[in-house]
Amino acid sequence: MFGLPVVASTSATKVYSGPLMPAIKSALPGIEPIDRRSMNVWEDDKAREAVLATGRRRLIVSGLLSEACVTFAVLSALSAGLEVYVVGDACGGLTTASHELALSRMQAAGARLTSWIQVLLEMQRDWTRHETYDGARAIVESHAGGYGIGLAYARDMIHPA
């Protein structure tokens, strides 16, 4: 919706982890994930080159598994001099404690932690940005709990059916 380049990857789909989750695949139409053998995206030439080919020096990262795939990629990207934001609530770990420890490790190394709603609202910046308004609002209404309910209520009060 915001025109950001997206690089998706999977890890050893045929022998270990299976294909990209259907919910993620449907949210990323037209994006073909790069299947890698290493847990670390940065150690896979094709995946690393795809990230670098975007020309971006600031990365937004999420994924499974916080303790391995996410942490290893983030630490490597930081070592390569990139600015990295980890969307902590769009990552998953084995346990709450191990996920939190992984986030702490990445933050201590220089990664900036954020949430999916912070990323979305920072990208939208202003509800009068018409080109992304409908899409951003639909995401908030569908996934942002009470905030989404409040937006739907406000819309219905301002523009009753």
pLDDT of 15 strictly over 80: no
Please give the mean pLDDT across all residues of the chain: 91
Which amino acid is present at 83? E
* 27-78: pLDDT as tens digits: 888 888 888 888 899 999 999 999 999 999 999 999 989 999 999 999 999 9
Angle between helices 130-143 and 116-124 (to 10 degrees): 160
Catalytic site positions = 69
The CATH code belonging to domain 9-114 is 3.40.50.850
Burial of 70 from C-beta contacts in 10 A (0-12 / 13-18 / 19+): buried
Tell me the pTM: 0.88
Of the pLDDT bands very low, low, confident and very high (cuts 50, 70, 90), residue 161 is: low
Which residues fall within 8 angstroms of residue 131, CB to CB, at 6 or more apart?
none
> 71 by DSSP, 3-state: which?
helix
Which amino acid is present at 147? Y
Q: Please state the rounded mean pLDDT for residues 11-15.
A: 75
CB 36 within 8 A of CB 9: yes
Is the pLDDT higher at 121 or at 16? Answer: 121
Length reported for the chain: 161
Task: Provide the residue ranges of all domains of the chain, joining segments of one domain with +.
Answer: 9-114, 124-161
